[in-house]
Structures are given as structure tokens and as C-alpha cells.
Amino acid sequence: MILTLLVLTGLKRSNLTNIVIVAITLITLVLFVLLGVPALLHQGYLHLTPIFPENSHHAFGNFFYATALMFVAYTGYARIATLAEEVKNPKYFIPRAIIITLIVSAVLYVTVSIIAISALGCVFRSI
């Protein structure tokens, strides 16, 4: 309801709010990665193997569940294509924007995942 009211107040204000929310999210993820690098370097890489542990009955199911979530997250970037009416040269800018967004998102997802797995393993080891 709050977001609907925000959109009704004007395009400039809702655009600024969107930029602030995305900036906070990206800053948080980058800080998570930067603060997690020491855990990765301090034997955190040992927690990255094996991807599918032995005797795990649900490993493939969990893998495909995570893959489906990633796909849903990526399809959210199709919203860029709806902006084609507002772009001066959509044949040039829209495909590039989608590709760049997918690349940046993939790198961010992989980096955060690697740091999270290595840091989580270090936390469990210290308990």
C-alpha cells in the first residue's frame, strides 16, 4: 500500500526511491562480499567441495529448486524490455542493457554464494 501511494505521488519520486533501494541492496551485498573474503581465504574454500555431498538424498532436488529461484530472479530483468518506448534507440540500448544486467547479476549471485558458503562453513567449524 505504501509503494502504491509512493507511485501515485509521481514518477520522479518513485524513481528516486527505486534508485535508493537498489543502491542500498548493492552496497549491502558488496560489503558482505568484502567482509567475507577473509573467511574464504582462511580455509573457507574447503567448504566449497563437494557440491553434492555423499549420501544426500535431496541434493539434486535442492539444486534444481535453487536453479528455479535463480531463473525467476533473472526473468525479472525482462522489465527492461518494457522501457523500449521511452528509449531513443531501443534496438541498440535494450539488448545491451539486458545482457549487461544479466552478467552483473550472475557475477553478484556467484560471488555472494561463494562467500556465504565459505563463511558459513567457518562459523559452523568454530561452534
Residue 54: what pLDDT?
Answer: 67
Asked if residue 101 lies in contact with residue 79, where contact means CB atoms within 8 angstroms, the answer is no
Give per-residue pLDDT as tens, 102-120. 788 888 888 888 888 888 7
- Please state, in angstroms and rounded to a whole number, the distance separating the CA atoms of residues 105 and 81: 17
Hey, how many other C-beta atoms are within 10 angstroms of the C-beta on 115? 20
Confidence of residue 127 (pLDDT cuts 50, 70, 90): very low
Place of cell 525467476: 72
Residue 88: what pLDDT?
Answer: 85
Q: Which residue has the higher pLDDT, 83 or 91?
A: 91
Rg (CA), the chain: 19
Give per-residue pLDDT as tens, 6-65. 778 887 887 788 888 889 988 999 999 999 898 888 877 777 776 666 666 676 677 777
- Please state, in angstroms and rounded to a whole number, the distance separating the CA atoms of residues 126 and 7: 47
